[in-house]
Structure 1
Amino acid sequence: MDRIEKREFVAELSSVFAETSMVVVTRNAGMTVAEVTALRRKMREAGVSFKVAKNRLALLALDGTRFDGIGPLLKGPTALAWSQDPVAVAKVAVDFAKTNDKFVLLGGSLGSQVLNADGVKALSELPSLDALRAKILGLLNAPATKVAGVLQAPAGQLARVFAAYADSQKSEAA
């Protein structure tokens, strides 16, 4: 990498840190190309970005951002994973670490809150953002459905009473 490429890389990583909500730091020493390809595929499917970064350049990009607390984790062969959905990045990283001994979680940062590996694992056990949205919509929709049912019931009963009254009037007239 020449100086221009390094500056562009630092600027790109800085913009990522400004926009994302969660960054996970991993160590992937000794992984084969096939394993890294499988990891990248899983990350991409979950909407997570994954990049192997030179630690010195990553530290320059972290400087002055809310993620600068993960700086001490950047030692040795590390890679960064990030996403707007904090649970998604944690889930993919933890799930892949369970199946591959060479992929190690070092920690991460949820905004300015620095997490150790156990914190990332705990975050991965939470429901995803989409699942939480679905639950909230279900909770909001259920009372409206019940209210509509309650409001329709008296009208139906009233209609049946009128129909019975009309039938009784017809039978009296005949």
Structure 2
Amino acid sequence: MAKADKAAAIDELTNEFTSSNGAVLTEYRGLTVAQLGELRRNLGENATFSVVKNTLTKRAANAAGVDEKFSELLAGPSAIAFVKGDVVEAAKGLRDFSKANPLLVIKGGYVDGKSMDAADVAKLADLESREVLLAKLAGAMKASMANAAATFNALPTQMALLADALRAKREASGEATEAVEATEAAAPAADQAPAED
């Protein structure tokens, strides 16, 4: 490859690293062109899958500021899936394809400039998609807001019930006080009655 072509390839890869949300590095040895085409279709519009040269990719990764550990994974025939959208979705697509086609080996990847090994990519693939996580978060927020609203609505009701209970208690104690006063008033009158001889 001519020096100008190498420089252009490095610039293109550097641009892919900087403009992508993440990338997954794979080994594709033994896959047919048809299988690679099927993999590209399965990844969808948010990811591109391309075969890369390791030395050029190392230079591009270093230029893009990607962690050194990612460059260490560049050995043997390598292909990278650059992801512009949901990295979880692309990781799931690659994992599912590698289950059906064991010749595709996931070596690792990076998200937001930090490298990941194959186990980390597998954990990423096990996550739910961004949309599902956002929906769950929205549901949890809505539930906590509904609980807060119910609590705020319950306070005036509880205050009214408490005031009513206090009023009833006062009325009951008032009646009891009147009864005690009436009894006390009647008792001295009985004490003052003349004794019979």
Give TM-score scaled by structure 1 length: 0.75
TM score, norm. by length of structure 2: 0.67
Tell me how far apart the structure 2 counterparts of residues 113 and 62 of structure 1 sit (CA, whole Å).
11
Seen in structure 2, the aligned counterparts of structure 1 residues 67 and 88 have a Cα distance that, compared at 3 Å, is farther
Unmatched segments (≥5 aa) in structure 1: 152-174
**Distance verdict in 2 for CA 1:17–1:67, change over 3 Å:** farther
The answer to whether the Cα contact below 8 Å between 2:107 and 2:117 also exists between their aligned partners in 1 is yes
Larger Rg: 1 or 2?
A: 2
1:137 maps to: 138
Aligned length: 150
| Stretch of structure 1 that moved more, 28-37 or 76-85 | 76-85
Deviation at 1:72, TM superposition (A): 1.3
TM-superposition CA deviations, 1:122-155 (whole Å, max 9, x none): 110011112112222233344567759x98xxxx
2:66 and 2:115 in contact (8 A); partners too? no
Q: Which runs of 4+ in 1 moved over 3 A?
A: 140-148
CA apart distance, 1:26: 0.3
Matches within 5 A, 1:1-174: 1-45=1-45, 47-64=46-63, 65-83=65-83, 84-142=85-143, 147=149
The alignment partner of 1:31 has SS state of: coil
Aligned 8 A contact 1:40 1:50 in 2 = yes
Question: Does the Cα contact within 8 Å between 2:21 and 2:111 map onto a contact in 1?
Answer: yes
**Separation in 2, partners of 1:125, 1:78:** 23
